[in-house]
Amino acid sequence: MLKKVLMASTVIFLLAGCSDDASSSVQKSEAQKSSKPKNEVAKSEANINKVVEDSEAKEVVASVTLGAVADEVASVVDDAVVVIDTAKLYVACAGCHGVAGEKAALGKSQIIKGWSEEKTMQALKGYQDGSYGGAMKGLMKGQVDGKSDAELEALAKMIAGF
């Protein structure tokens, strides 16, 4: 379907710029600019017309609407799979919490190893909105700001697995 949409878009683009007045001025301009004879320009126009006359092209051009294009794009986006590199995200955490969450960060936080996914997620979201944390609240807010819910969920799941 996407291939047909692209083909139809190309045909529409070509047709939009090829009205009788425009195409004759384009032919004159092309013939003057290039060393190609006028009959080659005419052959090119004939090839474009042949594509447009093709029954499949007519069908595609007739069926393509802005809504159909938008639906196709939405479908592709909905089918996209987001891959989160949790290990890469956790690197920033490991500096203070340890490779497996075994350290009290900077000697002031709880050890996060053994926390459930729910508890970890609640803490991460709390740091993000400012409703959770003690002495390290400001530092942690900077660590979680800009992270999506999906990234926080992936981190919480990873930490729960320690």
Last residue of a domain, one of 31, 63, 79: 79
CATH, residue 90: 1.10.760.10
When mean pLDDT is compared across 22-31, 55-64, 125-134, the lowest value belongs to 22-31
Mark whether 66 and 105 lie in a shared domain. no
What's the pLDDT band for 5 if we cut at 50, 70, 90?
very low
Mark whether 152 and 105 lie in a shared domain. yes
When mean pLDDT is compared across 8-17, 34-43, 91-100, the lowest value belongs to 8-17
How buried is residue 130: exposed, middle or buried, by Cβ count under 10 Å (0-12/13-18/19+)? exposed
How buried is residue 81: exposed, middle or buried, by Cβ count under 10 Å (0-12/13-18/19+)? exposed
Last residue of a domain, one of 79, 109, 124: 79
Mark whether 114 and 145 lie in a shared domain. yes
Share of the chain above pLDDT 90, in %: 43
Rounded CA gap, 105 and 149, in Å? 23
For 85, phi and psi rounded to 5 degrees?
-85, 90
When mean pLDDT is compared across 15-19, 52-56, 73-77, 139-143, the lowest value belongs to 15-19
Q: What is the pTM of this model?
A: 0.52
Rounded CA gap, 64 and 71, in Å? 11
What are the C-alpha distances in Å from 27 to residues 20, 32, 33, 52, 85? Answer: 10, 8, 10, 18, 55
Mark whether 71 and 7 lie in a shared domain. yes
Mark whether 118 and 141 lie in a shared domain. yes
Mark whether 43 and 100 lie in a shared domain. no
Number of H helices, E strands in the chain: 9, 0
**Structural domain boundaries, residue 90:** 86-160
Overall number of domains in the chain: 2
Last residue of a domain, one of 44, 79, 114: 79
Mean pLDDT, the chain, integer: 76
Mark whether 41 and 15 lie in a shared domain. yes
What's the pLDDT band for 69 if we cut at 50, 70, 90?
confident
Both tokens of residue 113? 């190893």
Residues 97-155 pLDDT 10s: 999 999 999 988 999 999 999 999 999 999 999 999 887 789 999 999 999 999 999 99
Mark whether 153 and 117 lie in a shared domain. yes
Mark whether 61 and 14 lie in a shared domain. yes
Residues comprising the chain, all counted:
162
pLDDT given at position 122: 97
